[in-house]
Amino acid sequence: MQFRELVTQIHAATNEVENAAAEIASGTNDLSKRTEQAASSLEETAASTEQLSATVKQNAENAANANQLADEANGTASRGGEVAGRAVTAMSGIEGSAQKISDIIGVIDEIAFQTNLLALNASVEAARAGEAGKGFAVVAQEVRQLAQRSAQAASDIKILIQDSNGQVKEGVQLVNQAGEALTEIVGSIGKVAGIVRDIAGASQEQAAGVQEINSSVASMDQMTQQNSALVEQSTAAARALSDQAGRLGELMGFFKLDGSGAGQPRRPAASGKSAGAARARSKPAVSQQPAMANAADDGWNEF
């Protein structure tokens, strides 16, 4: 009666082991699939971060180029400012020369004026001399015309110089405005360069961050591969466990429950050994089977 109960219990336990092994097998199957999915996701992530890394690097390079260009533009604008300053100096030089020319023109004008008066006086004297002064009057007239032409030329030149002075003043004003604009440009370019430098720094940091993500993803990938291998092993172990449980069931079929009970000492030894074997089996999948067989043999031997 005791033996019968023992066999029944062993039967039940064997069934439970079989069911559990089947559950483990299906579970590891699921796990395997998910691990595979995780691996492929990680692969995609790795590819994406690779692209991101390339983009960020490109960004950083562009920012560095922009920074350099801004520096060059800054230099060019500064030189433009210097040129504008020199132009102003040159123009004030022109203004000074024009002033000197004006002074000389003034002297010429004064001489023409005096000459004109002298010629007029000569004409007056000639007229008062009557017939005797006639030839002299002609000369005086000629001198007066020359004086008038000189005066006219002097006044023309004076007008030209005044125009030129006006234009030079305007030019100085324009060049000054250009200089101011260039100074503003220099300031703006400085700001742009600062912003671009910030962008370059941020890109550098982004690149470092992406690098870290990359290495994390790589280690995750490695772990997932290890997990995958482990899951494969688990699957094989569960299958082996299931097989062994089935075989145990078959072997247990040897005992007819209606017949006389025997083998009471066999059971605890067998169950203890098989449980230990199953526990041991979960680690190395394939190598366990001969050990399992040995354990069973041992059981049988003992029996």
Partner 1 sequence: MIAEAEHGDQSVDEVWSQYVTFAVDDRHYGIEITAIREIKAWSEPTELPNSPSAMRGVLNLRGVIVPIFDLRARFGQGATDACGAHVVIIVALRGSLIGVLVDAVSDILALEPGEVLPVPTMDGGADQRFLSGLVSRDDRLVALLKLEELFSVEDVPSSLSF
Rounded CA-CA distance 162/150 in Å is: 18
Rounded CA-CA distance 242/234 in Å is: 12
CB-based burial of residue 77 (10 Å sphere; 0-12 exposed, 13-18 middle, 19+ buried)? buried
Rounded CA-CA distance 167/170 in Å is: 5
Rounded CA-CA distance 7/252 in Å is: 8
Q: How far is the CB of 92 from partner 1 (least distance, A)?
A: 30
Q: How far is the CB of 117 from partner 1 (least distance, A)?
A: 5
> Which is nearer to partner 1, 117 or 223 (by Cβ)?
117
Q: How far is the CB of 103 from partner 1 (least distance, A)?
A: 15
The answer to whether the CB of 273 falls within 8 A of the CB of 291 is no
Rule CB under 8 A: which residues touch partner 1?
110, 113-114, 116-117, 120-121, 123-124, 127-128, 130-131, 134, 137-138, 141-142, 144-145
> Which is nearer to partner 1, 104 or 208 (by Cβ)?
104
> Which is nearer to partner 1, 47 or 138 (by Cβ)?
138
User: What sign results for the dihedral spanned by CA atoms 18, 19, 20, 25?
Assistant: positive
> Which is nearer to partner 1, 128 or 256 (by Cβ)?
128
Q: How far is CA 62 from CA 177, 194, 202, 268, in A?
A: 33, 14, 12, 76
Q: How far is the CB of 100 from partner 1 (least distance, A)?
A: 21
> Which is nearer to partner 1, 125 or 163 (by Cβ)?
125
Q: How far is CA 162 from CA 2, 87, 96, 98, 254, in A?
A: 138, 20, 12, 8, 134
Q: How far is the CB of 124 from partner 1 (least distance, A)?
A: 5
